């Protein structure tokens, strides 16, 4: 997500920035459209494969950023644990349902912890490096895959239709649209009228004007989708759509800033170069890592969807 200071004229840097944003937006829309078309087609396993591939690539990119900075981690152990989470979560949520799946998730997190401790027993002890290694490995699992996996939970949170088809995919569509409109609003508003830097110690481009633009665009998108898709988003009301628009816009900005902290700490510009105009898979997912859990818990705890 970009919240940039205004630049005028025909500066090549401005043109390059705009071209990068257009490429990023097109790539994002295309990728998530493919994912949602797969869900709507009824081939749940294909959607899970797509979600899992991007999740695993994002986790690998996180560990590669740590490697770039020379920070110790057990990337192979982390990747194996991440695969267990994605496979097991999909099985439990699709076959057993959300009600019986939360104990599994707690068990998986315990498995992660014990596995990382067990792996450290076969590594040399040097000052505080063991603690750093375990902390970085576990943080990657939690930050990337555990947060990202809430998309799967949202898909299976709502009851299936009478003919057995999924209904939660419409809330995933809502989530992605609102999150990406926040992204677009941040960029457009920040580019046009951005003056006041938001967090210069994290990013020299993000402004308060862009922050409020993100929330405004997210709110408009939320209300528009509620108006256009009332039958597909039955849990929402005008009040919920308004509150979620604001909260998801805020979470999208925080999600982007969170990855900026990691990139600044590891001295990298992008998490990877997988996607044109975007960078890596983690650059694509950063905002969703915060908005997906927020929407899930809002649906479950506030609206009480189950």
* DSSP notation for 57-122: HHHHHHHHHHHHHT----HHHHHHHHHHHHHHHHHIIIII-GGGTHHHHHHHHHHHHHHHHHHHTT
Buried b (16+ CB within 10 A) or exposed e, 67-95: eeeebbbbbebbbebbeebbebbbebbbe
- Does the residue 4 lie in any domain? no
Map residue 207 onto helix, strand or coil: strand
Question: Mean pLDDT, 10 residues at a time, over the chain (306 residues)?
Answer: 48 65 75 76 82 93 95 93 90 78 83 89 77 93 94 88 82 92 88 82 81 95 94 94 97 94 91 77 92 96 89
Give the angle subtended at the CA of 173 by the CAs of 272 and 256, to the nearest 5°: 35
Torsion of CA 155, 219, 204, 283, to 10 degrees: 20
pLDDT of residue 16: 65
Whether residue 191 contacts residue 9, with contact meaning beta carbons closer than 8 Å, is answered with: no
pLDDT at 51: 87
pLDDT at 50: 85
Using CA atoms, how far residue 252 sits from 106, 157, 183, 206, 219, in Å, is 26, 21, 7, 13, 12
CA atoms of 45 and 35, how far apart (whole Å) = 11
Contact 240, 303 (CB under 8 A): yes
Rounded to 5°, angle at Cα 287 from 76 and 217: 170
231 found inside a domain? yes
Q: How far apart are CA 1 and CA 257, in angstroms?
A: 8
Q: Flag whether 7 is in a domain.
A: no
pLDDT number for residue 13? 58
Predicted confidence at residue 17, as pLDDT, reads 65
The reported pLDDT for the residue numbered 99 is 67
Residue 133 lies in a domain: yes
2 belongs to a structural domain: no
The answer to whether residue 6 is domain-embedded is: no
Q: Which residues on adjacent β-strands are paired with residue 207?
A: 197
Which DSSP letter does residue 8 get? -
Total domains in the chain come to: 1
* Structural domain contains residue 3: no
Q: Among 208, 178, 206, which Cα is nearest to 288's?
A: 178
Query: How many other CB atoms are there within 10 angstroms of residue 101's CB atom?
Result: 20
Q: Which domain holds residue 290?
A: 12-302
Q: Answer whether 229's CB lies under 8 Å from 251's CB.
A: no
d(CA 164, CA 106): 28
The reported pLDDT for the residue numbered 300 is 93
For the beta carbon of residue 179, count every other beta carbon within 10 angstroms.
Answer: 28
271: in domain? yes
Give the separation between CA 224 and CA 168, rounded to whole angstroms.
Answer: 18
């Amino acid at each position: 997500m970009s919240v940039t200071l205004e630049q005028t004229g025909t500066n090549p840097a401005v043109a390059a920035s705009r071209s990068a944003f257009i490429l990023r937006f097109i790539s994002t829309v295309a990728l998530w459209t493919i994912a949602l078309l797969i869900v709507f087609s009824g081939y749940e396993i294909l959607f899970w494969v797509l979600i899992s591939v991007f999740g695993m690539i994002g986790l690998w990119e996180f560990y590669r950023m740590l490697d770039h900075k020379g920070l110790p981690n057990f990337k192979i152990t982390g990747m194996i644990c991440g695969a267990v989470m994605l496979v097991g979560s999909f099985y439990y949520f699709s076959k057993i349902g959300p009600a019986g799946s939360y104990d599994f998730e707690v068990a998986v997190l315990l498995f992660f912890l014990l596995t990382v401790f067990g792996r450290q027993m076969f590594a040399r002890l040097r000052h505080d490096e063991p603690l750093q290694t375990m902390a970085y490995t576990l943080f990657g699992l939690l930050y990337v895959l555990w947060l990202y996996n809430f998309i799967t939970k949202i898909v299976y949170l709502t009851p299936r239709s009478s003919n057995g088809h999924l209904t939660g995919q419409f809330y995933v569509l809502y989530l992605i649209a609102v999150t990406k409109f926040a992204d677009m609003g941040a960029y457009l508003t920040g580019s046009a009228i951005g003056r006041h830097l938001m967090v210069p110690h994290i990013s020299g481009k993000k402004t308060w004007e862009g922050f409020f633009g993100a929330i405004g665009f997210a709110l408009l998108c939320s209300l528009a989708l509620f108006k256009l898709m009332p039958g597909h988003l039955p849990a929402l009301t005008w009040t919920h759509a308004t509150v979620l628009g604001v909260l998801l816009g805020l979470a999208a900005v925080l999600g982007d800033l969170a990855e900026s902290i990691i990139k600044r700490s590891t001295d990298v510009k992008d998490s990877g170069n997988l996607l044109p105009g975007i960078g890596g898979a983690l650059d694509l997912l950063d905002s969703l890592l915060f908005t997906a859990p927020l929407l899930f818990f809002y649906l479950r705890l506030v609206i009480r969807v189950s």
